[in-house]
Amino acid sequence: MTTYGSFPGTRPRRLRTSPVMRRMVAETRLHPADFILPAFVREGAAEPVPISAMPGVVQHTRDSLKKAAAEAAAAGVSGIMLFGVPEDAKKDGAGTAGTDPDGILQVALRDVRAEVGDDLLVMSDLCLDEFTDHGHCGVLDAQGRVDNDATLERYAEMAQVQADAGAHVVGPSGMMDGQIGVIRDALDQIGRDDVAILAYTAKYASAFYGPFREAVGSSLQGDRRTYQQDPANLRESMRELALDLEEGADMVMVKPAGPYLDVLAKVADAVDVPVVAYQISGEYSMIEAAAEKGWIDRDRAIIESLTGIRRAGARTVLTYWATEVAQKLSAAR
């Protein structure tokens, strides 16, 4: 740095002097198209059911889900990721409600496609955990362990049923070995090579999923550490990434987002496919709870958290604030 007397000759603060200056030199910008809205639909619900651990988020009825999808599309959000919440009586060991053409997730996919057509990417969570009575992401063997290859057969059927119901994109989230290849083959076998796969490539066994368990009415006992990744590992994510790309993933995801920005950055640097990050329930709930206490500025914290995720390398972010933020961004333009 060149100095003249006791004064600095270089003053980076000049580029921070006003809102318009800061806007002009911003390296990372948020846009409505950067977001995907995760949404829950509850079978048999007569009205939306608030999720106590996620203030402002509900388990939708079929009608309120259609309205939420239309609002997201109008706000310029890119997609909606649907999670089905079946009646408890319909859960079983194989998660058969997840592959029933008349199951709640498939019904919701048809509803939303009829509502928004191709104006919003309609995405479906491809996993069994919402539909199994044991709450795991796959079927269990005689010893009570998740059977990887038996689960792949269920995923193949699930992919085909979701594609038939109208999904533009399927999101396999179970972290089974070989799931992307099996799902790609299953879709291609029924002539649905147009359906994209968003691979949950690096999905960690995180404590931040807690509120989500309420959102989907999870029956889980125990944990998912035998198939979700150990939070201590990063190189393992790169191995998973290579396998998913080899098997035909169209997009890849890091989940959770905030606690794993280093993983997100490394994945983004390594690939030439779109990278997605999921700002999960615990991240949402912490900001909402702190804001409710008056400890932080809610709106600034939301934007800062999303900017950090985009800056780390995410092209697109799943966030429960998707529509709200998109509307505010559009209003500010």
Please give the positions annotated as active site. Answer: 203, 255
Q: How far apart are CA 181 and CA 179, in angstroms?
A: 6
Q: Which helix (H) or strand (E) holds 202?
A: strand 196-203
C-alpha of 313 from chain center: 16
For residue 85, list its beta bridge partners: 42
**With contact defined as beta carbons under 8 Å apart, do 30 and 329 qualify?**
yes
CA distances from 99 to 95, 157, 285 (A): 8, 7, 31
User: Which is nearest to 106 in space by CA: 137, 71, 130?
Assistant: 130
Q: How far apart are CA 93 and CA 277, in angstroms?
A: 30
Cβ neighbours of residue 249 under 8 Å, at least 6 residues apart? 180, 197, 198, 199, 201, 273
Token pair 């890119």 is found at: 78
Phi and psi torsions of 51, nearest 5°: -100, 110
User: Which is nearest to 326 in space by CA: 309, 312, 311, 306?
Assistant: 306
